[in-house]
Amino acid sequence: ISFNHVLVDGQAAVEFIVSWAETARGLPLSVPPFINRTILEARIPPKIEFLHPEFIPIEDKSSPSPSTTTINNKDDTVSKYIKFTPQMIQTAKSKTTHESTSPIKPCSTFEALAAFVWRARTRALEMNPNQLTRILLVVNTRGKFSPPLPKGYFGNAIKFAPAHSLAGKLVKKPLSYAVARIQEAVRSVNDKVLRSTIDYLEAAATKTGDQRRFDGYGVITVSQWSGLSFSTTDFGWGEPFLSEPVESERTIVFLRHPTEKGSFNVLVGLPVPAMERFEELVQEELCG
C-alpha cells in the first residue's frame, strides 16, 4: 500500500485501512473520518513567529570515505532490521542517567534509541567533526494543537522536530547529550510553533522548493511506527502475517518486534561498510 504524505500521515492511513477492513466485514466504523481540512489553514496574513531550521539545507563538509561515498546511491546501500531487546534498551537508558554531567529528564524508549541511533550512525559514517548533523523527529501533532485536532482527523498532521549537533561533539559527548537535544526538540512542539510552521509552509508554497533539506550525510529522519496498528487490520480472513515499511537510507523506522514483547526492530539503511560498523557499535555499547 502506498500513499502521498501530502494528503495523509501514518495515523490517518492506518485509520483509513481499518475503516476499509471494517466496511469489508460489514461493521460500523470505529473511527469515522473527520475531513474538514480548513482547521489547519494558514492565517491571513501569515504570522511566522519562529525559526524553522528543519527546512534549511545543511552543507556537506564530510569528505568522501568508504562509508560515505555511496550514501546517495541506493544500489550500494543495505537496509537491515536491528533488534533492540529490553535489556539493550535498559542499558541505553542507564547510560543516559549515569553518564550525564547535568540534570536530565528520564528518557523514553524512543528518545534513548533515537539518540543511540543518531550517534552511532554518525560514527559509522566517519563524518567530519565539523559536519552539522540533524535528526528530524516525526511528531504526531494531533494532541499538540490548542484545542487538539478532532478524533479521526484525516490528513497530514506530522511535524519534523529538528535536533542539531556538530558530528565531533555528538560522538565525543555522552549519550545523555544526544538525548537532551532530542527531548528539547520534541518539547518545543506546541500550538504556536505549529501555527507558525503552517504559515511558513504557506508562504514558501509560492517559491521553488528546495528538497536538499533532506539530503546529505548529516540528515536523518526518525519515525516511530510502534503505535500504528497496521498489523491488526482484519479484512475477514485474519490479521496480516507481516507489516513493514519500504526501505529507505534516509529514514529510520521504529517498530515493535512481532513476537518478542518489549523488543523493537529498528529499520536502518546505510552503505555496506557503515552498516558493518553500526552493528559493531550496537554490540560494543549495548551488549558488551
Mean pLDDT (the chain, rounded)? 89
User: Which of 10-19, 119-128, 189-198, 237-246 has the weakest average pLDDT?
Assistant: 237-246
pLDDT at 76 over 70: yes
The packing angle between helices 175-187 and 86-98, to 10°, is 90
User: Which of 219-223, 248-252, 281-285 has the weakest average pLDDT?
Assistant: 248-252
In this structure, are residues 87 and 264 in contact, taking their beta carbons and an 8 Å threshold? no
pLDDT at 45 over 70: yes
Q: Which residues are catalytic?
A: 5, 234
197-209: average pLDDT: 79
Give the domain ranges of the chain.
Answer: 10-287
How confident is the model over 102-145, as pLDDT tens digits? 767 889 999 999 999 999 999 999 999 999 999 999 999 999 99
pLDDT at 73 over 70: no
Q: How confident is the model at residue 212, as a pLDDT? A: 47
How confident is the model over 158-186, as pLDDT tens digits? 999 999 999 999 999 999 999 999 999 99
Q: How confident is the model at residue 207, as a pLDDT? A: 64
Which residues, in sequence order, are CB contacts of 196 under 8 Å at separation 6+?
A: 47, 48, 49, 50, 52
Name, of 192-196, 207-211, 241-245, the range with top average pLDDT. 192-196
Compute the distance between CA of residue 52 and CA of residue 196 in angstroms, rounded to an integer. 9
237-244: average pLDDT: 81
Confidence of residue 189 (pLDDT cuts 50, 70, 90): very high
CATH 3.40.190.10 is right for the domain spanning 10-287: no
Name, of 58-62, 69-73, 118-122, the range with top average pLDDT. 118-122
Confidence of residue 217 (pLDDT cuts 50, 70, 90): confident
Which residues, in sequence order, are CB contacts of 248 under 8 Å at separation 6+?
A: 79, 269
Q: How confident is the model at residue 64, as a pLDDT? A: 55
Please name the residue that has the C-alpha cell 478532532: 150
Q: What is the pTM of this model?
A: 0.90
Confidence of residue 241 (pLDDT cuts 50, 70, 90): confident
User: In the numeric block, which cell numbers belong to residue 86?
Assistant: 529490553
Q: How confident is the model at residue 114, as a pLDDT? A: 97
pLDDT at 148 over 50: yes
